[in-house]
Amino acid sequence: MASRYAEVHAAWRRDPEAFWREAARAVDWIRPPDRIFDPASGPYGRWFPDATLNICHNALDRHADGARRDQVALIHDSPVTGAVSRFTYGEMRDTVATLAAVLAAEGVGYGDRVVLYMPMIPQAVFAMLACARIGAVHSVVFGGFAAAELAKRIDDAAPKLVLTASCGVEPARIVPYKPLLDEALRLARHAPARCLVWQRPQAPAGLVPGRDRDWAEAVAAAERAGMRAACVEVKATDPLYILYTSGTTGLPKGVVRDTGGYAVALAWSMPNLYGVAPGEAFFTASDIGWVVGHSYIVYGPLIHGATSVLYEGKPVGTPDAGAVWRVCADHGVAAFFTAPTAFRAIRKEDPDGVLRRHHDLSRLRTLFLAGERADPTTVRWAEQGFGLPVVDHWWQTETGWCIAGNPAGLGLLPTKAGSPTVPMPGFALKAVDEAGAEVPPGTMGALVIALPLPPGALPTLWGQDGRMVDSYLSAFPGHYETGDAGTVDADGYVWVMGRTDDIINVAGHRLSTGGMEEVLAAHPDVAECAVIGMSDALKGEVPLGFLVLKAGSARPRAAVEGEVVALVRERIGPVAAFKLAVAVDRLPKTRSGKILRGTMKRIADGADWALPATIEDPATLDEIGLALLARGLPAERPAVSPAVPGPETSR
């Protein structure tokens, strides 16, 4: 169908408040908004300042009390444990209402914080919604964080209660959560007095008398007593959750998500961006510990009346590179959302898509990518192999939903390889120079968003309005600094080439490492790659590429390394000064799949570095170090001071 994007975007441009007032009709309000935006509140203003609602009611009760009571709301698929479970809207509402009563009995109420340290199990979703039901503020900490990092988040949020599970389940191991929580509570200065523990049969945990309570026993007792909590009325501007992202001082930044604006943004995005209808299945292969999981495993699909798939597995290894296609087929998925890293992993193991052909994907319409930059080679491979639209879109923890994308529900626009397409309504995006002046179309600059940010984006940081201003709003007055660099072309398409600290300066030339990665990824033997800027006494910085070759590639590593150097020289030019590529078995990544480029740069520069808290496998950093030592690196040269990272990004 012809795209309606231009007319929808123009309507927002003409009258932003009228646009969001209309979008707000998709939400059930207790007190509907009279005022749409208050520019005098908070660091840059607040949305729906006089409205009240309950987001758990919007996600569960209104469906459970209506025609969707017996529709499946949540499917939990756990290939490692061999379990698949389904919960209807009616069942989920009753389960969440009982758990919310348990939380209330533990003294949790309106405005109190609750920390969740949970694996990808249904109880984690129930817990988030139970907090929202009684007006408590949840803060989900990704299960991959070590005790010290969990303790920092506990100290900042000062929760009244912690909810956890005894363990997480990985393809090759069981990860005990409870010992990590015990150590975190020992380290924390503001440890709560009570914990609720969901016991998993793979590794039951010992409970601390007087502090820990068995989750299942507490819920069973509440059920016998007929305890169910009603939905509490909260202000639209009340915080729904705190989600921590990395800070430059070692203290995590607590991104606040308010309730009303978030509900409106997600309700708009489900049909218009993702093109999903109520009753259809939406599969987001993320983790609830990350923003994507919050927005599009939990709140977005349920507010919209869709069926959400919660997957406790990996794109490969559970059991093979056909795992996600099996999930899509088994559950009739209409739209699948994952990270480019997952596609690259699948492509490496199954480059010809043999495993995909074993599954009926007739109901799958669209594939969505976010979480990092989607290189054109991977996008083209997916488009050609699947015969489906592949929608790259760009957003951040801070924004809560998509900044730029291709709105499937409005009719897809023509794509341009390497671009996430166009800004969504609410995001007045432009590229600027260091002085904040907008640069000509196609010119590299810092990507900024004119204030106010739209509904759904962070209004502030937890307890730190000043830090909010310093971190995001001070560098370019009147604008939010995304921390990403890129261009906006003459057609309004956005090109996000990486973090602003991923733009390297080679002898005075500002060059994008993302552009070089595109060239490396185009080599037929390269499955995955990363380019960093390595300090150089003569040129300031020079690029250094890392390659992972496709499984089964018979080419000598040295040959491929030489060929990609020649490709960069051919396609970007000698100005890139790209002279060194190193093939490795694996790239170091976080547990959410982001490549640890900053740490790789510090290793290459011979600078001090610390083991990142979220690293998937520490041995991968040793492999990088050994590979560089074999090339005589790091050489004696001035170390570049580590660049100050900006907001965590999906690119």
Structural domains of the chain in order of their starting residue, each with its CATH number: 505-630 (3.30.300.30)
Neighbours of 301 (CB within 10 A): 28
CA distance 357 to 351: 12
Task: State yes or no: pLDDT of 321 exceeds 90.
Answer: yes
pLDDT per residue over 22-51, tens digit each?
999 999 999 999 999 999 999 999 999 999
Please tell me the predicted confidence (pLDDT) of residue 455: 98
Per-residue b or e along 600-638, where b marks 16 or more CB atoms closer than 10 Å to that residue's CB: bbbbbbbeebeebbbbbeeebbebbbebbeeeebbeeee
Task: State yes or no: pLDDT of 382 exceeds 80.
Answer: yes
Please tell me the predicted confidence (pLDDT) of residue 635: 60
CA distance 294 to 224: 31
Mean pLDDT of 493-513: 78
Please tell me the predicted confidence (pLDDT) of residue 248: 46
For the chain, the average pLDDT equals 92
Please tell me the predicted confidence (pLDDT) of residue 250: 54
Please tell me the predicted confidence (pLDDT) of residue 125: 98
Residue 638 is classified by DSSP as P
CA distance 59 to 21: 20
| Cβ atoms of residues 468 and 409 within 8 Å | no
pLDDT per residue over 160-175, tens digit each?
999 999 999 988 889 9
Q: From residue 11, how far is each of 4, 5, 364 by CA, in Å? A: 11, 10, 31
pLDDT per residue over 192-203, tens digit each?
999 999 999 999
| Cβ atoms of residues 394 and 403 within 8 Å | yes
Mean pLDDT of 575-592: 90
Confidence of residue 508 (pLDDT cuts 50, 70, 90): low
